[in-house]
Amino acid sequence: MPEPRTVVIAAFPGVELLEVTGPAEVFSVASRLVGGDAPAYRVEIAAARSGPLPTAAGISLVAGRSLAEVGAGVDTLLVAGAMDGDDGHNPAVVDRDVVAVLPEAAAPPRRVGGVCAGVHLLAEAGLLSGLPATTHWLTAGQLAAQYPDVDVDPEPIFIRAGRIWTCAGVTAALDLALAMVAEDHGPAVALDAARAMVMYVKRPGGQTQFSVPLSLQSSTDDRIDELRRWIDDNLAERIPVEAMAARMHLSVRHFTRVFRDCTGRTPAGYLEAVRVEAARRLLEESARSLPDIAAASGLGSVETLHRAFRRRLGATPAEYRRRFRPHATAR
């Protein structure tokens, strides 16, 4: 029987609990599904020093080994993280003790991953230089500003760059771990693990972290919020920019400037984004045909639906449906 793959999750005092236990549970479930005389994975927690490890949740874990002991025989090293929310800005915590030993600890493993704000520790250790990376949207700006040699993309839930993997917010760690399981044991095992954990979907890495409304800048203009609600209620209709401007009693030119200042997007860009999101939900949650979905989301034709999906998601509607609703047939 093959030896179990050893996964070491690096942590530090105050680490987010789920960033450690979430991936650990994915690998544990996968082990049970793979079966055999030996588990498919062996998961260990490591820290700068072995012993009890308090977490941000107030629950203590135990680091079975120190990071200095991570060497040959470790297949995957994941680095968990935490944010400091005391000042309301939620900056990523960069534990210097972990960073000091990361370059050496990360050298032997086949894969190295940063989980949520743990990506900042990889960057501080110089392991992301010249690579694309993602992290939680709350700290993506901090990552880009502090490490200009890292190509930060705040949109995807995870990114793979060779042997280096990075992922977004806490639950994205589950998606990253499932992708690793798929690489090791095939997509069927990963999908079964997602079902066993009652995860809504096993998301591909290219999926964005949050919905269009959440990704917009905060608006201080109540008229913009009212307009968004009207757009949501009338997506299937033709919505020219003139109609949007008229609802706010502004000229098209003035409206376009106000909308962009308030939301960070052009009216046309926002409209396409919310329509793609509506189409995504219909692909995930229904068996409706592609022409029906194109019409209901306001994208009009299957050709426009395809172009918008390619541009914004890097996949066709049929490919997206196969990932999210594998037993449905795109028509």
CATH number at residue 30: 3.40.50.880
Predicted local distance difference test score (pLDDT) of residue 221:
65
Helices within the chain (DSSP H only)? 17-34, 96-105, 119-124, 140-146, 172-185, 187-196, 212-215, 222-233, 241-247, 252-263, 267-285, 290-296, 302-313, 317-324
With contact defined as beta carbons under 8 Å apart, do 135 and 90 qualify? no
Q: Is the pLDDT of residue 87 over 50?
A: yes
Which range among 139-153, 179-193, 220-234 has the greatest average pLDDT? 139-153
Residue 132 sits in the same domain as residue 252? no
184 plus 269 within the same structural domain: no
Q: Label residue 190 by pLDDT band (50, 70, 90).
A: confident
pLDDT at 273: 87
- Residue 44 is classified by DSSP as E
Distance CA(191)–CA(209), nearest Å, equals 20
Last-in-domain residue among 163, 196, 229: 196
Domain assignment present for 274: yes
Residues β-bridged to residue 7: 43, 76
Q: Which of 15-29, 185-199, 207-221, 237-251 has the lowest mean pLDDT?
A: 207-221
Residues 36 and 173 in one domain: yes
Average pLDDT, the chain: 87
The mean pLDDT value for 76-93 works out to: 86
- Average pLDDT on 52-70 reads 94
Domains of the chain: total:
2
On whether residue 257 sits in a domain, the answer given is yes
77 and 223 housed in the same domain: no
- Over residues 15-33, mean pLDDT: 95
Say if 184 falls within a structural domain.
yes
pLDDT 10s digits, 41-53: 999 999 999 999 9
Which is it for strands 151-152 and 41-47: parallel, antiparallel or unpaired?
unpaired
Clarify whether residues 177 and 225 are in a common domain. Answer: no
The answer to whether residue 206 is domain-embedded is no
Taking only the tens place, the pLDDT of each residue in 154-185 is: 878 888 899 999 998 778 899 899 989 988 99
Which three-class secondary structure state does DSSP give residue 254? helix
* This prediction's pTM: 0.66
What single DSSP character describes residue 92? B
Backbone angles phi and psi of 10, in degrees to 5: -80, 135
- pLDDT at residue 326 greater than cutoff 50: no
Which of 223, 225, 219, 256 minimizes the C-alpha distance to 240?
256
Confirm whether 288 is domain-assigned. Answer: yes
Domain that holds residue 243: 212-324
- 154 and 29 in a common domain: yes
- Assess whether 62 and 187 both reside in one domain: yes
- Give the integer Cα–Cα distance in Å for 24 and 42: 9
In a domain, 201, yes or no: no
Please check whether residues 9 and 81 belong to one and the same domain. Answer: yes
* 152 and 33 share one domain: yes
Q: Which two tokens stand for residue 140?
A: 């993506």
Dihedral of CA atoms 154, 93, 64, 133 in degrees, nearest 10, equals 20
CA end-to-end span of the chain: 44
Asked if residue 251 has pLDDT above 90, the reply is yes
- Model pLDDT for residues 297-315, shown as the tens digit of each residue: 999 999 999 999 888 777 7
How deeply is 47 buried, as exposed, middle or buried, from its count of CB atoms within 10 A (0-12, 13-18, 19+)? buried
Same-domain status, 128 and 57: yes
Q: Are residues 55 and 127 in the same domain?
A: yes
Q: What is the pLDDT at residue 310?
A: 85
180 within some domain: yes
- Do 236 and 153 fall into the same domain? no
Give how far Cα 7 sits from Cα of 48, 75, 158, 224, 306, Å: 16, 6, 18, 48, 39
Q: What CATH code is carried by the domain that includes residue 227?
A: 1.10.10.60
Bigger pLDDT: 210 vs 271: 271
Q: Return the higher-pLDDT residue of 315 and 267.
A: 267
Q: Identify whether the C-beta of residue 149 lies closer than 8 Å to the C-beta of residue 161.
A: no
User: Would 330 be classed as within a structural domain?
Assistant: no
**The pLDDT of residue 319:** 81
**Last-in-domain residue among 196, 230, 260:** 196
Flag whether pLDDT at 262 surpasses 90: no
Kindly report, residue by residue over 103-153, the tens digit of the pLDDT. 999 999 999 999 999 999 999 999 999 999 999 988 999 999 999 999 998
Last residue of a domain, one of 196, 223, 254: 196
How does residue 214 score in pLDDT terms, banded at 50, 70 and 90? very low
